[in-house]
Chain A
Amino acid sequence: MTTADATKAPGTTTDLTGTFTEKAKLVSAEVYPVKTLEQAFAKAVEICVNKAPLDPQMASPASPDAAQKSSGTDRIMAAPNLDEDAFSALSAACDAAGGISLIRENLRQYPGGIDMGVSLMDYGIAETGTLVLDSRAEETRLSTMLSEIHVAVLYTSKIRESALAMTEELKGVVRDPGSYMAFITGASRTADIERVLAMGVHGPLELHIMLVEE
């Protein structure tokens, strides 16, 4: 919605990061530049701790019961697509903050919703501020849809100029049988009633993007 595409010379990472950030903000995503994965996780945990309590859409069998709530673990965070090291790091950050249970599977047990889903993105697309996520794992899909806040972790080195410019890389993802690739641009939205924008009609109410420089 600005003429950034036309005025900025494409090619360098900085330009792509700038364009990506600008475009992502246009669709109401929050963008945080961070130096390391640890910083990204710390920020995610901070947002999770400070968020409004979950508004359950229906009863979830695995949701914290009253006893758990009183003991302080009343936030559910899911991070199914992190590798072991990253998951441990996030887990440590959650433990340090307290009050968050971090899960990575059985998300079908939370149909009523979870507080936050944290996922590591495969690519970013500068032209539209879009995130690309290989979502072939069911848990990944559920985590990005059932969470009230979706935190997307994206390495700036993974930002490409446009979808068309990265056709071959995208082909590499969709080529496999069973592949399920998501383009995510902003949070779930609708304007179906009187064309008034409303966020979070089915999926996340908010999208936060951690841009990791390392």
Chain B
Amino acid sequence: MSGEKGTKAESLKAYKNRLDDALGNEFLRKAMDNFAVAYRTSRENAFSGMDTAELIQTVADVKADAVIRNQELLAAFKQKAKENGIHVHLAETAEDANRIIAEIAKKTRCKSIVKSKSMTAEETHLNRWLENEGLEVTETDLGEWIVQLRKEGPSHMVMPAIHLSRYQVADLFSSVTGTEQDAEIQRLVKVARKELREKFVTADMGITGANYVIAETGTIGIATNEGNARLVSTLPRVHVALAGIDKLLPTIKEALAVNKVLPKNATGQAITSYVTWITGPSECKTVEGGKREMHLVFLDNGRSKIAKDPVFAQILQCVRCGACANVCPVYRMVGGHQLGYIYIGAIGLITTYFFHGREHAKNLVQNCTNCGACKSICAGGIDLPGLIKDVHAKIQDEEGHPLQSLLLGKVLKNRKLFHTLLRTAKLAQGPMTEKTKEGPFLRHLPMIFSPEHNFRRLPAIAEKPFRDRFEGLNKKVHAPAYRIALFSGCVQDFVYPEQLEAAMRGFQEANVAVTFPMGQSCCGLPAVSMGEKSAARDVALQNLDAFELKDVDYIVTLCASCASHLKHGAPKLLKNYAPDRAAAFADKVLSYSQFMSGVVGLDKKTGAGKAIAFHSPCHLCRGLDEREAPKDVIAKSGNTYVPTAEEETCCGFGGSFSANFPAVSNEILTQKLDDVEKSGAELLVTECPGCVMQLRGGAMKQGRDIEVAHLAEILYPQ
């Protein structure tokens, strides 16, 4: 919102070029890959024996409460800080914060500054400002020092130099020291120890961030592994701490509750090597009076406005652990510099808009598969993917909606028009359709797609949509065991009706009465994905009208994305429109496996006896928190489930994501297919037609011998 004016926005094309470069960076890819896998295990170990969900809920509650009480805590801290002898400053903007700190340096005649790690200082571009003022600033966190010397920003909030190899660091240190340095990590660390010691000793001012600012006692808490914050706040005669107002907490108890989660989530450590609690100026023997001068600069930079926003206030629950990047499939492919402006990862996609402006955010917010991996581990309990979509919608509302997205919104709102267009497209694609054993595929992509979209084969629209087949398939059931309404979703209705047909065979066998409300429309998720919130709301209302709830026990869908959106997304959209009806509707929604395994109950069948790998759709495992039902269905189908590595990692589809960022989507997909091949499975099964489209189309395009099916198709084969 400030300090960024005049910086030129990057075009989407330039951004995509940057993504392509990152995808081609072999070291980065390998580093990110190793990290993604290792992180998962170390986090699990760190939390082992603990109720992780409860610990995270505590952090979320503590932070949410602190956001509400922010002004009160600020006043209390100021009072206490005054008693403790801390000079407190309130910076409205990033520029104000930088100016205040430069003025402190001037007043206290400080020339050289040592800094420990502070994302808030990155946010304000503090170093640049201070250097312009003629001050010497040295980062003392090893990773930060490395990126400072390279004139880069950090590529991860906790591991700033994770994108660099030991060879790059050795070259850098060779040029800094004027002596050839070996690419041996332990030795490189020693080089930093020596080079930085002198900086610590000669510095006039130390700048730190603060992980916690405690109102009750006027204390700041700083977590580091290297111990550099202790030297930064001990050797120099002036200490300036810079902290966002969102770091305020009532007492040390809340800080300890957050600190119990933060390091575990960040790096899988039980606790960082050092946590330093400073209550006002501490002893400093080099100054008269024996105490150093201490300042605390609070940064607002839009935070108090965010705190009042009913949707976005939860952003301030972030504790800067960086875990949302650690588990993000896109981050894993492209690295941090491509997935954030200053703040990296899912939270970065959101805060960039608020802290650094729309022009820096508008490409970034689209680079999300909506897989929900970040939300499932967020230490602050933030609905990250939801907020990313909200920011996307906000940007489109402010800048005007792109034609493509506008059209999609308009078309989706009008079900009849939408379905007519699909039927017309079916006719138009006629000559381009190629029949294969995997179903009809398009021979080549329509002209609106660019060659890079050609990473997977796209299926053709089916001869006859499911809605036209339903009457013929629906046999009357006497004294039904259950009455369900089937929600088909667009893809199964128009592209994969055979998946629904398979399910229908099973429903009859289990004596389930099925209705198919013809007024049902798209679930609305694609509209949310493209930032068309109002269209998403309209279709959600249409679906409420289409389903007569009193006649059915459950609403069943074979699409995990539809299920998750109908259950959780739609009620959120309809919060101020039809909350009760939306809740009643959501209450009845079940995924196919949940219904078949949990409600109907399956007897073991004699199936094909194949080894089956399961791709767990994001919106099933995380969206619906359902992990067991599909495995039960596989077991009962007369096949054997075989585990694959990273079964719950996104396939890279993500709806419009794969159309916007095909190169990234392809890499995520390739990784997935590699894992499936390694599992030795004969068949890959999933529970979402979007995943089927991505996985089957990718396997065909890459010439892999991987057959892909929906759960219903293995349970009730033709």
Could you tell me which A residues sit within 8 Å of B by CB distance?
A: 1-7, 23, 26-27, 55, 57-58, 108, 111-113, 127-130, 135-138, 141-142, 144-145, 163-164, 167, 170-171, 173-196, 198, 200-203
Contacts and interface: CB of A to CB of B under 8 A. Distances in A.
Nearest to B233: A180
B271 A128 contact: yes
B230 A195 contact: no
B281 A189 contact: no
Interface string B381-424: 00000000000000000000000000000000000000000000
B274 A184 contact: yes
A127 B47 CA distance: 12
B436 interface: no
Given A111-B201, A138-B282, 13 more contacts: A27-B273, A111-B197, A111-B198, A138-B283, A164-B260, A170-B252, A171-B252, A175-B217, A178-B279, A180-B282, A180-B283, A192-B161, A196-B166
B228 A180 contact: no
Contacts of A27: 270, 273
Nearest to A129: B270
Given A180-B282, A192-B160, A194-B31, A57 B48 contact: no
B45 A202 contact: no
Contacts of A176: 279
Contact of B159 (A6, A167, A192): A192
B193 interface: yes
B165 interface: yes
A33 to B, nearest CB: 22
A174 B217 contact: yes
Nearest to A141: B234
Contacts of B194: 57-58
Closest 8 pairs between A and B when the two form their complex, measured CB to CB: A192-B143, A6-B49, A203-B227, A183-B275, A57-B197, A198-B189, A3-B49, A192-B142
A23 B279 contact: no
B286 A108 contact: yes
A177 B169 contact: no
Contacts of B161: 192-193
Nearest to A164: B256
B672 to A, nearest CB: 24
B510 interface: no
Contact of A202 (B84, B227, B280): B227
Nearest to B168: A193
Interface residues of B, number: 78
B293 interface: no
B718 interface: no
24 contacts: A7-B49, A55-B190, A58-B198, A111-B198, A127-B270, A128-B270, A137-B283, A138-B282, A145-B234, A163-B259, A167-B256, A171-B217, A174-B214, A174-B277, A175-B217, A177-B84, A179-B219, A182-B275, A188-B227, A188-B274, A193-B189, A195-B38, A202-B193, A203-B231
Given A195-B159, A202-B231, A188 B226 contact: yes
B11 to A, nearest CB: 33
Contacts of B272: 185
Nearest to B267: A191
Given A178-B279, A194-B166, A203-B230, A138 B284 contact: yes
B225 interface: yes
B193 A5 contact: no
Contacts of B577: none
Contacts of B143: 190, 192-193
A82 to B, nearest CB: 17
B276 A180 contact: yes
A2 to B, nearest CB: 7
A179 B185 contact: no
Contact of A177 (B31, B231, B277, B280): B280
Nearest to A200: B193
B285 A194 contact: no
B280 A178 contact: yes
A93 B228 CA distance: 32
B330 interface: no
Contacts of A192: 141-143, 146, 159-161
A167 B227 contact: no
B166 A184 contact: no
Contacts of B230: 135, 141, 144-145, 182, 203
Given A57-B197, A167-B252, A23 B284 contact: no
Nearest to A179: B279
Interface string B30-60: 0100110010000001101110000000000
B273 A184 contact: yes
Contacts of A180: 233, 276-279, 282-283
Contacts of A129: 270
A200 B193 CA distance: 8
